[in-house]
Amino acid sequence: MDRINNGQNSMELAINKEKNREISIPGCDITELLIENNHVRLSQFSRWIFCRGMLFKSHVKWWGDRGLRAQPHEGLDLCFYMNQGSQCRLIDNAILIPACYSGLVVNIARDFMGSSIFFLTEISGGIFCWAYGHLNPNSDIVTGKMINKGDIVGRLAEKWRPGAPPPHLHLSIGIPFADISSGLDWNVFGDERSFYLMDPLLFMGSDYSIISDGFLWI
């Protein structure tokens, strides 16, 4: 395990933390919600494990040929965790994915593994945009639906083709610069003229480790 480093030592994360220093999302603990809704499967959860390619703004993939991404990563990928016995485990498509806040579903769009759910929330007078990627949404999750914090919005999509990554949750958080209540998709989310993207790792509410690229053979 000597190739695992404490996430707090990452220069990139320190820079992102300073940028987001004055932005807070009260009551946001995504890890706690996941454990509450998957208390049997995640009962032994200890901390998240990330390859550098999973991190916000990463330029490389963490699966397949580990080549360059088409654009910097807009969020954070949740896939691996360490249990209380110090063993690495994967979340899978049986994991229930809860909404981290109450809000309005504004779009559901296909992505390269499944579907992405885009929803808006109002927190402390500000508008935040969230994207949950690579899901199989529940049948009752549709555009225009109001969801409550903790509502189950779907499960992880299955790996469906050779070279694709294992099931994982992509999480993005952004603050819009203008009204984006319609037409919200990955093209908009990736446009820095439309969004101030935030590092989701700062709002996970749990410990984590960052491992060397290639440590997990995917």
The CATH code of the domain that includes 44 is 2.70.70.10
Answer whether residue 18 is part of any domain: yes
Give the least confident one: 24-38, 63-77, 107-121: 24-38
5-32: average pLDDT = 54
The pTM assigned to this predicted structure is 0.86
Answer whether residue 218 is part of any domain: no
Answer whether residue 217 is part of any domain: no
> Where residue 126 falls among pLDDT bands split at 50, 70, 90?
confident
Q: How many domains does the chain have?
A: 1
Both tokens assigned to 104: 């309005």
Answer whether residue 96 is part of any domain: yes
Q: How many CB atoms lie within 10 A of CB 193?
A: 7
Structural domain of 205: 4-211
Least Cα distance to 49 among 173, 212, 175, 195 occurs for 212
Give the least confident one: 34-38, 90-94, 161-165: 161-165
What amino acid occupies position 153? V
Least Cα distance to 174 among 162, 158, 152, 191 occurs for 191
Answer whether residue 162 is part of any domain: yes
Output the CA–CA distances (angstroms, integers) from residue 138 to 38, 115, 155, in the order listed.
16, 11, 8
Answer whether residue 134 is part of any domain: yes
Answer whether residue 11 is part of any domain: yes
Least Cα distance to 69 among 149, 143, 170, 183 occurs for 170
Answer whether residue 195 is part of any domain: yes
How far is it, in rounded angstroms, from Cα 62 to Cα 60?
7
How far is it, in rounded angstroms, from Cα 134 to Cα 186?
12
Residue count of the chain: 218
Q: Is the pLDDT of residue 190 over 90?
A: no
